[in-house]
Amino acid sequence: MRRVAHRVRERGKICTVSSERPDHLPSFPVRRLEPAPGRLLIAAPLLTEDTFKRTVVYLLEHDSSGTVGVVINRPSRTPVGQVLPLWQDAVSEPSVVFGGGPVLVDGALCLGQVGGDEVGEDESSVRRLTDSLATVDLDADVALITGLTTQLRIFAGHAGWSAGQLDGELAQGAWFVVTGFAADVFSTSSRRCRENCPAGWRVRQPHRRIRDCCGRYR
């Protein structure tokens, strides 16, 4: 598996959206957040392509050139130690590779949770994305990285949108944008994501549909 460290530049095509709007979606206005690093995209029922159906995507980058994120609720059955033996004991449970998205699926992207003072500006092996989340260089010394981070997750591939592509999908109603936290990347439960679904949509949905849309470990 090829390793991908730090800034990810490739973008990829994302989804197919159903042309029919389900009756259970809200017909009244709800507050909408704009995409931004650190926020979550939650797949709406309109998103029918298997690649992103029922996914939760943590956004890593969003600017005029496009958007990059990782799917955080699709663990594989491949142990990290099978592809990166030195990192098996360093990653958070479940210690498997997660499917991060359809772009560069043969590459490994590592994210780590960091505190306020552990990572200095001169630390090249860990690059902050938000106050508490960073990309990790998988060629770095494992002991050094575990001393700088509190949690680690390794993803195969990532999700990417070209300039304006995500805006078009949001206009179609394919995604909900909600507040995210670094801890979401390492969570083994989708409960907090469900709680952050737009209130109007959540009230109109049976609990099972909310749970399924936001993803489950299964």
Mean pLDDT of 128-157: 94
Residue 113 pLDDT > 70, yes or no?
yes
Tokens 């505190």 -> residue:
115
Q: What is the mean pLDDT of the chain?
A: 80
Per-residue pLDDT for 176 more than 90? yes
The answer on pLDDT for 17 being more than 70 is no
- CB contact at 8 A, 111 and 135: yes
| Amino acid in the structure at residue 62 | H
d(CA 16, CA 3): 29
Tokens of 77: 């059955």
Amino acid letter at 113?
Answer: Q
Domains of the chain: 7-11+33-214 (3.40.1740.10)
Residue 115: per-residue pLDDT? 81
**CB–CB of 98/154 below 8 Å?**
yes
Q: Residue 99: which of 58, 71, 60, 138 has the closest Cα?
A: 71
pLDDT tens digits, 42-57: 999 989 999 999 999 9
Q: Lowest-pLDDT range, 56-65, 86-95, 149-158, 180-189?
A: 180-189
The predicted structure's pLDDT at residue 32: 79
* Residue 140 one-letter amino acid: A
Mean pLDDT of all residues in 177-203: 67
Give yes or no for a contact between 131 and 120, defined as CB atoms under 8 angstroms apart.
no
In tens, the pLDDT along 59-80 reads 999 999 999 999 999 999 999 9
Q: Own/partner pairs for 7-11, CB < 8 Å, 24+ apart?
A: 7/61, 7/127, 7/135, 8/60, 8/61, 8/68, 8/103, 8/104, 8/109, 8/158, 8/160, 10/103, 10/104, 10/160, 11/66, 11/67, 11/68, 11/103, 11/160, 11/161, 11/162, 11/165
Residue 159 · residue 12 · CB < 8 Å: yes
Look up residue 163 and give its DSSP letter: T
Distances (CA, A) of 170 to 10, 123, 131, 177, 209: 20, 36, 26, 9, 20
Longest dimension (CA), the chain: 53
Residue 131 pLDDT class (50, 70, 90 cuts): confident
Q: Which residues pair with 126 in a beta bridge?
A: 136
